[in-house]
Structure 1
Amino acid sequence: MSEYQRKLETKLWAIADELRGNMDANEFKNYMLGFIFYKYLSEKIELYLNQELEEDGVTFNQAFEDEDLKEEVEAEALENLGYFLEPLCLFKNVIKKARNGEFILNNLQTAMNQIENSTMGHESEEDFVNLFEDVDLQSSKLGKSEDAKNKIISKVLLHLSEIDFKLEDTERDILGDAYEYLISQFASSAGKKAGEFYTPQQVSKILAKIVTQGKKNLKNVYDPTCGSGSLLLRVSREAKIGEFFGQELNQSTYNLARMNMILHDVRFEDFNIQQGDSIENPLHFGMKFDAIVANPPFSAKWSSDKKFLDDERFSAYGKLAPKSKEDFAFVQHMIYHLDEKGTMAIVLPHGVLFRGAAEGVIRKYLVKEKNYLDAVIGLPANIFYGTSIPTVILVFKKCREDDADIFFIDASKHFEKAKNQNRLRDEDVNRIINTYKERKDVEKFAHAATLAEIEENDYNLNIPRYVDTFEEEEPVDLDAVVREIRELNKKSAEVDKEIKKYCDELGIEAPFNE
């Protein structure tokens, strides 16, 4: 990490403290990230249009005043950036008012509305509509009066104005990485609610490296529970991605995912993020993907409606995941969307490895009938926000050899203890990835189990059945234990004698039977 980026992240988090007040992290993140996004869009459009107009010898500001050029620059921005913002609504002009102590809330609201409204009827509309709806400038949590709200918002924006986002810098994603840092910090502060929008970076890295193994280019990548989009973007660090697809149930998190894509310089036509329940209301139905990753909510409830038995995502299994545990519904949904030569990796609770009834039937079908399960990777407990349970990564591929083994890795004991939760170190991540690639047995860490072994265990995939991590303790010297007990009894008798002596002197009964 560069010194500039380190300072940028520190500064941004310090600014976020200005908004804490009466809000929890899950609320004030919407304001902080929304304001950063607005500043980014303002600087992005001005930089882009100034460069485009350079040959004409005019600036964006000047062109907008020219009736002949005004429509042309707007069309140029909409076609290439997906949105338009007139000069008066740029961040730098709102800041001028803030520096003069003027009331800026109306100007700020107008600017955010203009960004969204400019996309209406254009290809980018779906990617920008309601993008700023969580930045509620009228919220009472910002202050009791309009002046109080204006004061705190002005203060935050003025701090932001002191930061150079360096959008013209050739070093890619400096701001995008800082944005990711902020999201992770908010997740850490948000506790249980964080699970809705963020997967710990080290876990994301494992999933991304697995689904891109041996591939430099992927046509597309999909996440049915995409949260802030961080996991999708992580995959793009390992391979060049043509298009990003995702679905997110939570409206605020859906907005955050779209912001995250745009801020990481993913063109609006290259991502398709939808809002809704991907199981009950799939919005990419019928599509196939080269890579699929997911960290769905663990053991969530769902309808498990019998109508899904006629749904081609579930019909072949003959069973649906139970109402109280949606885990296998996500697995089935993702497998349906997986391209024949694709790879998927999903994080789930350990129960999916051994629970019986319908889940046992689904698990057996995936292993015995389809032979899709490629690997089972056990992770340490307490590495996710909002839950302390140990988790597992399941890796699936459709094109496996008939006699291919299932590779088990037990990484549950390899981590760094942190203040509030455990953390996978780089060395732990590298060990998992390297072991997965080599696919060789490692004592007390990894084992390639044959399908015959899996069958012998009645398709129970509990990791200790395949990876023996039992540590033999030193044999107990029973004679030494007996001698120690005798010595302790002797000392105890001497203490009792002393207590009895003092009790007799005080004329009270001793607190034990002689």
Structure 2
Amino acid sequence: MNTMSHNQIVSFIWGIADDCLRDVYVRGKYRDVILPMTVIRRLDAVLEETKESVLEMKKRLDEMNILNQTDALCSASGQAFYNSSPFVLKDLKSRVKNQQLRADFIEYLDGFSPNVQEILEKFKFRNQIDTMIEADILGAVIEKFVSPTINLSPKPVLNDQGEVRLSGLDNHTMGVIFEELIRKFNEENNEEAGEHFTPRDVVELMADVIFMPIKDKITDGTYLCYDGASGTGGMLTIADERLTHLAEKNNIQVSIHLYGQEINPETYAIAKADLLLKGDGTEAENIKYGSTLSNDGNATMEFDFMLSNPPYGKSWKTDAERLGGKSDITDPRFIVNFKDEPEFKMIPRVNDGQMLFLANNIAKMKHSTELGSRIAEVHNGSSIFTGDAGQGESNLRRYIIESDYLEAIIALPENMFYNTGIATYIWVLSNRKEEKRKGKVQLIDATSLKSPLRKNLGDKNCELTKEIRKQIMDIYLRFEENEYSKIFNNEEFGYWKITVNRPLRLKVEITHEKLDKFKQFADKAKDKVVYDIMAELYKQADKDYFIDYKEFEQLLKKVVKSKGEKLPAKRLKMIREFFTSKDENAERLISKVLKNEDIDELNGKFKLQNTIVEFETDKELEDTEQIPLRYEGGIETFFKNEVLPYAPDAWVDHGKTQIGYEISFTKYFYKSVQLRSLDDIMADIKALEEETEGLLEEIIGG
């Protein structure tokens, strides 16, 4: 079907909403009628040819009192579904009385097979019948959908001369029409940026990167394709088409099975209807309803090929609660044994769960087959850099890269999607990298490779034509560096995040004025003893300032002992808060004196004579540094070269060291803007001066 015919059908169906529903439904509710009616009419058109066979089979089964009739009726219909009511949709347009129309329409709907009943239930379509009957529009809607001016059947409509008057709709084109309708409805409802469908050109590219690198390795056998955020099933449909085409081209026999899961009841219903229309009821059962994150419908499955476009920037708080709370999640998809860490957490922030879908796919990889598994998944920019070292997003990037699963990331042009203009990226993963890719990651900047649309489709103003997709695939398959492609070793994206500490340096100042103010402070705290201690210390001290806190502390302990008192932490804190201040010239504050001479100096412990002391940390001076994993000499050399020259008393708290991973396309593909020369600027200024010469005199003189 050509694009014009496709657009005509979309416009016609959209026009039904404007013609019939305008005064009954607000525009945001048109979809509640139009989408299920489109599905019903499509199913009805497919079943028309075998209607009599189904009714004959139904009559025989009833006469034989056979209760389980599904298989026999599906056999009679030649499809994975049936309608055993006495009607086809065209029969109902002639009903004059609304109540008769209502009764017959309900009987017609009740005649569908159980798998179609689930679709109608997810659409909640029966809730609309009374509204349409009361408004007297049900008959008009039906009449529009069975109009001879459009054809929703897979078979062409012929004229009297036997020529094709209206082309038939194959299943994929019908799916495209569904998605176009949903896009238009989403625009009406101002859906969020993440609530969008993946354009066919992007899915085609994803299918290319999944199948083309291993096209010659596909052999006779069974292959499983999966999408954990399947929407209307468009990715699965194209994956099926691409793999079937490759098999036919290479003269091999393959059996392809599609699996998916979808949380939105409406799009789930469309995906299931699409698979039913392909004629395989078993395949339709492979589409599960519910949240992939908290209720995985394919928990024990492994797949050969996985394609997904998960929602971006969408909270998964409800899923986290269902999984036991974010801090208590134990799901092995998201908590793994990795790098001597038995509970390595790859759990992102609750306000964006898109990377959990990637972790879900990785958990479903096949590791025992020659081809292993290949994954293509679309994400927005946050997935490549969000999350600090040790946090869930960074941990997942680390797990993927250090496991050597990441083959490439392709940066797509902006405004590629219908409902959002944000930057998007295709992640390409494999657990069977070819030899030249092992230990490496390819970044492809395809942001400038696009063709403008003549007319915007929502936010989508450009596309990846067949030629552009071929260009991107050539860049990917050649695996060479050029202006669009950069290749890096895995460790390029990793870094150590270290915590650098400095010792606390306190000066103690005890004056008569401060002591008087401390008396009020102590009285308020109802602790006269602490004031008495400091008053006595003031008498015994031979100076007002101590830059060696240890010296002050020794005198303090002596006074406390002489008065037969104790110095609990609460009192010491009061004294510190009132009489001390930071001074970089003061001695380092010692918190412990240790006897073990083997303690690491870099952990803030230094040997003084025959003992080892541990310095107290100045929290305000605590800092962090990011050190590339590829830094020659590692943490120690970096610390020696880049920190100690500026802070000789600093040390690294190794207990807080974390490994992080992030990927910056801007960093690797930055192109500096060439500044204009001074001569060019001066020439422009002179030209402007000549252009305006005499203008002021002309204005004044006028």
TM-score (norm 1): 0.81
Amino acid at match of 2:662: N
The answer to whether the aligner puts 1:360 opposite 2:356 as a matched pair is no
CA-based RMSD = 3.5
Shift of residue 81, structure 1, vs aligned partner: 3.9
Q: Which residue of 2 aligns with 1:311?
A: 331
CA distance in 2, matches of 1:109, 1:92: 14
Across the two proteins, how many residue pairs are aligned to each other?
476
The answer to whether the aligner puts 1:380 opposite 2:413 as a matched pair is yes
Write 1 or 2 for the structure with the bigger share of strand. Answer: 2
Amino acid at match of 1:182: I
Tell which structure's C-alpha radius of gyration is larger: 2
Q: Which residue of 2 aligns with 1:31?
A: 33
Amino acid at match of 1:245: Y
Of 647, 663, 668, the match for 1:461:
663
Of 371, 374, 383, the match for 2:404:
371
The answer to whether the aligner puts 1:288 opposite 2:302 as a matched pair is yes
CA distance in 1, matches of 2:26, 2:231: 18
Q: Residue 230 of structure 2 contacts residue 261 of structure 2 at CA under 8 Å; is this kept in 1?
A: yes
Of 371, 380, 388, the match for 1:349:
380
CA distance in 1, matches of 2:334, 2:129: 46
Shift of residue 333, structure 1, vs aligned partner: 1.5
CA distance change for structure 1 residues 413 and 469 in 2, over 3 Å: closer, same or farther? farther
The answer to whether the aligner puts 1:152 opposite 2:149 as a matched pair is no
Question: Runs of 5+ in structure 1 lacking a partner?
Answer: 51-58, 503-514
Question: Runs of 5+ in structure 2 lacking a partner?
Answer: 158-166, 245-254, 337-343, 496-627, 630-660
Spell out, residue by residue over 1:129-169, the C-alpha distance to the aligned partner (whole angstroms, 9 max, x if none).
Answer: 725523643365x5xx6353234323323316863724499
SS in 1 for 2:304: strand
CA distance in 2, matches of 1:24, 1:398: 50
Amino acid at match of 2:49: L
Amino acid at match of 2:381: H
Shift of residue 33, structure 1, vs aligned partner: 3.9
Q: Residue 153 of structure 2 contacts residue 168 of structure 2 at CA under 8 Å; is this kept in 1?
A: no
Q: Which residue of 1 aligns with 2:314?
A: 300
SS in 1 for 2:30: helix
CA distance change for structure 1 residues 126 and 95 in 2, over 3 Å: closer, same or farther? closer
CA distance change for structure 1 residues 218 and 168 in 2, over 3 Å: closer, same or farther? farther
Q: Which residue of 2 aligns with 1:110?
A: 107
Q: Residue 207 of structure 2 contacts residue 239 of structure 2 at CA under 8 Å; is this kept in 1?
A: yes
SS in 2 for 1:347: strand
Q: Which residue of 1 aligns with 2:366?
A: 339
Of 112, 130, 136, the match for 2:121:
130
Q: Which residue of 1 aligns with 2:679?
A: 479
| Aligned positions of 1:78-89 closer than 5 A | 78=74, 81-89=79-87
Q: Residue 223 of structure 1 contacts residue 232 of structure 1 at CA under 8 Å; is this kept in 2?
A: yes
Amino acid at match of 2:226: Y
Q: What is the percent sequence identity of the aligned residues?
A: 18
Q: Residue 16 of structure 2 contacts residue 141 of structure 2 at CA under 8 Å; is this kept in 1?
A: no
Amino acid at match of 2:425: V
Shift of residue 235, structure 1, vs aligned partner: 0.7
The answer to whether the aligner puts 1:249 opposite 2:289 as a matched pair is no
CA distance change for structure 1 residues 13 and 486 in 2, over 3 Å: closer, same or farther? closer
| Aligned positions of 1:169-248 closer than 5 A | 174-189=169-184, 190-191=186-187, 192-193=190-191, 196=195, 198-213=197-212, 214-215=214-215, 216=218, 219-240=223-244, 242-248=256-262
Deviates more, 1:453-462 or 1:177-186: 453-462
TM-score (norm 2): 0.61
The answer to whether the aligner puts 1:488 opposite 2:688 as a matched pair is yes
SS in 2 for 1:394: strand
CA distance change for structure 1 residues 501 and 397 in 2, over 3 Å: closer, same or farther? same
The answer to whether the aligner puts 1:389 opposite 2:422 as a matched pair is yes
Q: Residue 446 of structure 2 contacts residue 472 of structure 2 at CA under 8 Å; is this kept in 1?
A: yes
SS in 2 for 1:335: helix
Shift of residue 440, structure 1, vs aligned partner: 2.4
Shift of residue 292, structure 1, vs aligned partner: 1.1
SS in 2 for 1:278: coil
SS in 1 for 2:305: strand
Q: Residue 209 of structure 1 contacts residue 433 of structure 1 at CA under 8 Å; is this kept in 2?
A: yes
Amino acid at match of 1:186: L
